[in-house]
Each structure stands twice: as structure tokens, then as C-alpha cells.
Structure 1
Amino acid sequence: MYNSTENYTTPEGSTNFTTYSVRMRTFELYAFSINSLVGLPTHSYVIWLIVKGTGTGVASGFFNLNLSVCELGSCLNSLLFVLFEWYPFMIILALGTQGFGITGRPLFQCLMCVERYLAVVHPVTFLKFKPLRYRVICCTAAWIITLGSCLCNLMILFSDNIILHAWFFSLQFILFFSIQLFCLSAVLRALKQSGPGERGRERQEENHMKRRAFHLILITTVNVVIIYVPMTISGFCTIMTNQYITAIWFPALLLFFLAGFVQPVLYLHRAGKLSCLCS
């Protein structure tokens, strides 16, 4: 996914092409640097809050905990791509850790979306699978798949097959995007429906909680679209043109990085650690 190899052919000459390539590579380094410098402390703080028990606690925030750990791996991947400029031997770790962003992030986000879907649409089933042991089983399977993705990604990129690499992450994004979009849209429909006919203060409190949940799910839905749609479009453009087009790929990468900060910000907001938003 983070491949700066460019296979352009430009009639204007190699000088403009070289200048353009250097400029875009500089922008990529800035994006990687910001993602690592901001992401590492942010996700570390979220992990510390969950383990400490602040906010929703370890049990209810277990998927969020694993997502933050996976995001740390993705931020480490960005840092490795920056260090690769000075230490070429870092390329093995840089290519291998791409699986945290390609597979790990969407997989744990899917688990969170499915959990919300069950809690709202099928509450009886949710209560049945609410104990921590079921979350541990799901996260263990997710980590096995993520580590397998890291290995596959390393083998694909070392084979220098950009088409296979584009198919590899594009199909995953389509699958995870479809699952999340289905769950989130079902939750939004359920929240828009009126509940039982309480009166007075109980009705107002219920409506207030529903509005907050509706806005949270709506933000998550928009965030999912921003994360996966541009990257998927970039992947299919690579498949059709047999080259990474930086003008399409770089904005998608930037959105992918920025949207990754939405979940930790939402968690910090719920935990009351963002006073400016809480007010």
C-alpha cells in the first residue's frame, strides 16, 4: 500500500518528472512523519486509559484496546518508512508491518461495528456473547489473520508485483467496507425508530442517548467511507494502469492516515479527556 515506486512516462522530459517525484516523495515523508509522531503518543495514551480502567473499562473497550495496539503497529510502519531514507535495511520491517494498516485496522473496526450491530439490533444475542472470553477469541483470530497478512504482504512486495499487491489490499478493503457499512446502516435505521412509549424525563433521557449514539454511528460511517473508498479507488487505478499514480494514491494515503485518528479522538471524548470537546 505504501509503495513509492513510480512508473510514469512523461513527454515533457525527465527533469520535470524527477522534480515532481522528489516533491511527492517529500510530501509522503511528511505524511509518514506526522502519522508516526502524532499517532504513537495518541494511541499509547488510549491504551493506557483502557488498561487503567478509565472510560468504558477493559472488558467493554477490549476491541478498542486491540485496535489501538494495531494502530501503534501502523504508526510504527510509517516511522520505518521514514527511517528507510537513511537506513535501507529497514525496508524488510517497513514492508512487513504494512499488514497492520491493510488488514489489522479494518478487521478490528469490523469487530467493533459487529458488536454495535448486535447490541442495537440483536440485544439478546449481544448479551449472550457479551463476556470477555468471546472478545478474546475474536481478537486472537484477528491477530493471527493480521500477522499472516504481514507475511503475505512482505512476500508480494518482494516479488515486485504491484498488480497483485493492489488486488491484495483492494479486495480486503471492499470486504471490510461492505461489512462495516451494512452494520452501521442497520444501527442507524434502528436508532431512528421510536422506542417504547415512556413519558416525561425518561423519554427525554432516552431520546438524548439515542441522539448521541446516532451521531457517533454517523461519524463512524463517514469515517469508514473516507478510509476505504479513496484507497480502493487508488488500488483499482493501479490495476488498470499497471502503475502507482501518485496524484491519486497520495491523497488517498493522507485521508487514510487522518481518518485513523477519529476512533482515538472519539474514545478520549467519551472518557472526558478532551475538555474542549466535552464543553
Structure 2
Amino acid sequence: MNYSTVNFMTPETNHTTQSITSLKSLDIFLYSIGFLFGLPTHSYIIWLIVRGTGSGVASEFFNLNLSICEIANSLNGLIAVLSFHLSSLWILSNFLQGVGITGRPLFQCLICVERYLAVVHPVTFLKYKPLRYRVICCTVVWIIILGSCLVCLNILLNIMVAYPWFFSLQFLVFLSIQLFCLVAVLRALKQSGPGERGRERKEENHMKRKAFDLVLITTGNLVIIYVPLTITGFFYITMKNVSLPLWVIGVVSYILAGFVQPVLYLHRAGKLSCLCCS
């Protein structure tokens, strides 16, 4: 998502030059934040995973790929800002749109499905726990991301009006899958376990409560990331016009809410002492 995507607005939209200029300035500000904070944060997460801090590379393989994807998003933010002065960079920026539209939600889907299997279908989870299955899944996802990048490049250069269809339908499908998995996990965690008593029951309830809170935060975060932009896309499809307030809310939510997941990972890894103390 960058300023170039606003070009799918039809000519009959009556947005003033001042509003478009303000949107451009907001775009530069947000993507500068995304680059300055996203690049070092996700680089640090990759370093922690590769070093084996936490659960190891195998169990964090989806998070590793998600962070690689987010680094590409952060770099695209820098490229988008530079492209305001170097128009030749728009092609590269448009190409990398596919990483944000398809890559982030797909890897988040894999993480949600993994949690779903681990809690709701533990036998199936153990069957597909080896690293080779994660590598196969991630390889397929990266191929899909490459295809999405090529489609984005073609759409943003030739058939701009198809762009809201492209990202809105993807966000809707991916969000539906993630919400299904997370709601199923929440329901499973709320159920009381078999009859442990006393201290064991108390520890189990404490672990369930922590897992429940984590999944609940993740669910809310996903809604904040994808729902505003999805509504914006369908608003344009229906009204043949772009609502700038909706678009601004969508872009702000997409960029800023994207920092929640890395913060949660760093919290789980014990690297945020202030949150750990709380």
C-alpha cells in the first residue's frame, strides 16, 4: 500500500489538490515510520530465531518468513518515499505491493492454522510438525507472492480499477480463514481440561489464560489491519469513488497495527523487560 494506489480514484472524484497533497505527506510519514522501525525490529527477530533464542528455527519458521516478508514491506516503504523524487522507482514499488497484499496475510494465515491444529487437532499437528512440511508450505507461499507481485505490477500500470478488487477479496478471504482458526482456538481454550486438581489445575488455567489473551490480541489486531482497507476497497467498488478518510484510516491501521505481532513475539522471547515485568 502506498500513495500510487490512490491513483485508482476515478476522474470524477472531487478531491482537492490540497487533500491529495496532504495524503501524499501522510503517506511519506507513515512509510518512513514503517521503514525506520520495521526494518530493525524484524531484523532483530530474524537474528533471534536464527540464533535459536526461544523455541528454535523449526517451530518459529513461519515467524521467520513473516519477518522476511515484513522487511520487504519496510524496504518498499523506503522505495515508495524515494519514488516521489525518482519516478523510475514506481515500477519496483508497484511490484513489491504484492508482498504486502499477499505475503503478510498468507504467512499470518499459516501461523493461525498452526495454532489451530496445535490446540484443536494436536494429533494432526504432531504428524505435520517436522520442519520439511513448514518449508514446503513457505515455498508455495513465496511462489504465490511472486505471482501476486507480477499481478500488482500489471494492474497498477494498466488496469488500475481492478486494484481494489484484487486486495479487498484477498484480505476478505485471508481474514476469514484467520478468524475461523482463532475463534476455534479461543473456544477450545475456554473449555476446562480433564480433571487435574490443585496446583496442576491452577498452572494449566494460568497457561490457558495467557494463551487466550495472546490469541485474543492477535484476533483484534488482524481485524484492525485488514477490515478498514477491505471496507475502503468495497466502498470504491460499490460507489465508484474513494473515501479519503476511509483510505487514510485503512493505511494508518495497516502500517501501525503491523507492529503488534513483532512486539508480541519479542514479549514471548523475553526481550521486552518492561512488558515482562507487567
Query: Fold conserved (TM > 0.5)?
Result: yes
1:40 & 1:241 partners in 2: Cα distance? 37
2:115 & 2:58 partners in 1: Cα distance? 14
Within 5 Å, which residues of 2 pair with 1:102-251?
Answer: 102-159=101-158, 161-251=159-249
CA apart distance, 1:274: 0.3
Deviations 1:150-181, CA, capped at 9 Å, x for gaps: 0110001100x333111011110111011000
Letter in 2 for 1:254: V
2:92 & 2:77 partners in 1: Cα distance? 11
CA apart distance, 1:135: 0.3
Which ranges of structure 1 fall in alignment gaps of 5 or more residues?
11-15
SS of aligned partner of 2:16: helix
2:86 is matched with 87
Within 5 Å, which residues of 2 pair with 1:258-269?
Answer: 258-269=256-267
CA apart distance, 1:246: 2.2
Q: Determine if contact 1:223/1:259 at 8 Å carries over to the other structure.
A: yes
SS of aligned partner of 1:58: coil
Deviations 1:173-198, CA, capped at 9 Å, x for gaps: 11101100000000000000000111
TM-score between both structures, scaled by the size of structure 1: 0.95
**Percent of paired sites with the same residue:** 63
Q: Determine if contact 2:179/2:219 at 8 Å carries over to the other structure.
A: yes
Q: Determine if contact 2:73/2:96 at 8 Å carries over to the other structure.
A: yes
TM-score between both structures, scaled by the size of structure 2: 0.95
2:12 & 2:45 partners in 1: Cα distance? 41
Q: Determine if contact 1:47/1:65 at 8 Å carries over to the other structure.
A: yes
1:91 & 1:245 partners in 2: Cα distance? 23
Report runs of 4+ in structure 1 exceeding 6 Å deviation. none
2:147 & 2:112 partners in 1: Cα distance? 22
CA apart distance, 1:78: 1.1
Within 5 Å, which residues of 2 pair with 1:23-38?
Answer: 23-38=22-37
Q: Determine if contact 1:4/1:25 at 8 Å carries over to the other structure.
A: no
2:213 & 2:12 partners in 1: Cα distance? 43
Deviations 1:28-68, CA, capped at 9 Å, x for gaps: 11011111111011111111100111112101100000000
CA apart distance, 1:86: 1.2
Residues 242 and 60 of structure 1: CA distance in aligned 2, closer, same or farther (over 3 Å) = same
CA apart distance, 1:267: 0.6
2:98 is matched with 99
Pairwise CA RMSD of aligned residues? 1.3
SS of aligned partner of 2:192: coil
Which ranges of structure 2 fall in alignment gaps of 5 or more residues?
none
1:165 & 1:259 partners in 2: Cα distance? 22
1:83 & 1:237 partners in 2: Cα distance? 30
Q: Determine if contact 1:36/1:75 at 8 Å carries over to the other structure.
A: yes
User: What is the aligned residue count?
Assistant: 273
CA apart distance, 1:8: 5.7
1:38 & 1:8 partners in 2: Cα distance? 37
Q: Determine if contact 1:33/1:82 at 8 Å carries over to the other structure.
A: yes
CA apart distance, 1:77: 1.2
